[in-house]
Amino acid sequence: MTGVVRRVGVILAELAEAATPLSLAELTCRTGLPKTTVHRLLASLCSTGLVRRADVGYLLGPAASPACDPVPDPAPLTLPRRCFLPHLVELYERTHQMVSLCVLVGDEVVVIERIYGHDRADDGADDVDRVPAGHTAAGRVLLAFAWAVRSDEGLERCLAGIRRRRVAVHTAACNAGVICAAAPVVGRAGRVVAAVEIAGGSPAMGVTAMVDQVRRTALAISAAARCLG
């Protein structure tokens, strides 16, 4: 029994440390346990809710301590503005749409920088700096990479799609004519630490163009974050 507990502890520890779901092969490699043993223990842990099967592997389940859940790296909150502001300004100059940089705090998205002009798209949030994450494209991106367990299967399917595409597109709740697109910013530790969002209401700018532009900016900010000493 002591040996079983130790093996279970090793598996849970690896899942708690991982920033993304781990496959059976990855868990076998990381734990050094036989593949058949890991598979058998994962099945038991899934049945108790301590582990959950995701679309690309395994992660901690709802019965695991919330303190063990991986959380977003808070690095963007201390990221110098010189690392992201020039890229946001360039995004605004290329598109003339409202652009933002956001981070996740609990289940809310917090805007740490927003740029817009006189002809900005009205998404109803230009004077709000903290909203439920599920109500915005940036928030959905951040939720997708936070790897917390969601009881809403529909939301989990949506987040799984965002993880695959590495972009979220969302219609503003207050104005059906406004489309928002967001892409993840990756910090020095390799975790998603923020999201760039663009809100567009101009017919001249299609969704594909918005997605391309926001991805380009997110990649540029990620590169700047990695260069920090």
Q: What is the per-residue pLDDT for 188? A: 81
Q: What is the per-residue pLDDT for 73? A: 43
Q: How many degrees, rounded to 5, is the angle at CA 96 between CA 74 and CA 129?
A: 35
Give the tokens for residue 75: 């690095």
Q: What is the per-residue pLDDT for 85? A: 92
Exposure on the CB side of residue 34, measured as CA atoms within 13 A: 4
Q: What is the per-residue pLDDT for 50? A: 86
Q: What is the per-residue pLDDT for 92? A: 94
- What residues of the chain score a pLDDT lower than 50? 1, 65-76, 174
Query: What element of type H or E holds 199?
Result: strand 192-200
Q: In 3D, which of 132, 138, 129 has the Cα closest to residue 110? A: 129
Kindly tell me the sign of the dihedral angle through the C-alpha atoms of 155, 218, 97, 89.
Answer: positive
Instruction: Tell which phi-psi region holds residue 138, choosing left (phi > 0), alpha (psi between -120 and 50) or beta.
Output: alpha
